[in-house]
Chains A and B, each alone.
Chain A
């Protein structure tokens, strides 16, 4: 079964450093998402991306964050100048469409620890 793959599975970074989290969505999907989950808390929506631009973002997704689809297969989340509170599991997801009956497929996550 096709799946969303994410790298790295775990990254430790110094506060203030830039981090890039990478995702390979399911190949025929057109919509891409990033979510995050702080330890012990709920899964939070960050951003959705379609046709090479952001279609929706949450209040969490501020100027510190950016997303990019640099080629035909990868989808990245960049966090500039990481803060301690950015420590979380980051999930990439993709879907074929955004219609209401559509299924969103999630990756296994990238665990980011900021020290």
Chain B
């Protein structure tokens, strides 16, 4: 599995954009980059994933570097409900393994 590096924690103000970075320099060519989040006392929740191109969905956007060695999850307008631990997971045809993630705090 590719090793990932994420900040331990980040803070954001409510209704402001948040950019959550992830380095995955050892990613293989066939790994998709998945982002999950875990709200307090809940199970992990899928956010978004991509391979090479940037991706958008109703929850977030994913910007993937051209060399694929890093990616950024973008929450366009953070809400209090977005306070969670965010996990970046390069994933191939094997079982998904979680790192420590980034704990996002959203201030009102």
Please give the residue numbers on chain A whose beta carbons come within 8 Å of chain B beta carbons, in ascending order: 4, 33, 35, 42-45, 48, 56, 91, 93, 98-101, 103-109
Q: State which of B30, B32, B93, B100 has its C-beta within 8 Å of the C-beta of A42.
A: B100
* Cβ-closest chain B residue relative to A48: B95
Distance in angstroms between the alpha carbons of A33 and B44 in the assembled complex: 13
**Cβ-defined contact, B93 with A98, below 8 A:** yes
* Cβ-closest chain A residue relative to B47: A103
Main secondary structure on chain B at its contact with chain A?
A: loop
Q: State which of A91, A100, A104, A107 has its C-beta within 8 Å of the C-beta of B30.
A: A100
Query: How many Å from the CB of A71 to the closest CB on chain B?
Result: 23
CB contacts under 8 Å to A, within B65-101, are 87, 91-101
Distance in angstroms between the alpha carbons of A42 and B6 in the assembled complex: 14
Please give the residue numbers on chain B whose beta carbons come within 8 Å of chain A beta carbons, in ascending order: 30-32, 34, 38, 42-46, 49, 51, 87, 91-101
**Cβ-defined contact, B99 with A100, below 8 A:** no
**Cβ-defined contact, B43 with A109, below 8 A:** yes
**Cβ-defined contact, A42 with B99, below 8 A:** yes
Chain A residues near B101 (CB, 8 Å)? 42
Task: Please list the 5 inter-chain residue pairs (A to B) with the smallest Cβ-Cβ separation, ordered nearest first.
Answer: A106-B43, A43-B98, A100-B92, A100-B32, A106-B44
Query: How many Å from the CB of A2 to the closest CB on chain B?
Result: 13
Q: State which of A33, A101, A103 has its C-beta within 8 Å of the C-beta of B95.
A: A33
**Cβ-defined contact, A101 with B98, below 8 A:** no
* Cβ-closest chain B residue relative to A107: B43
Distance in angstroms between the alpha carbons of A100 and B92 in the assembled complex: 4
Distance in angstroms between the alpha carbons of A44 and B100 in the assembled complex: 10
Distance in angstroms between the alpha carbons of A82 and B99 in the assembled complex: 26
Distance in angstroms between the alpha carbons of A4 and B45 in the assembled complex: 11
Distance in angstroms between the alpha carbons of A104 and B45 in the assembled complex: 9
**Cβ-defined contact, B46 with A43, below 8 A:** no
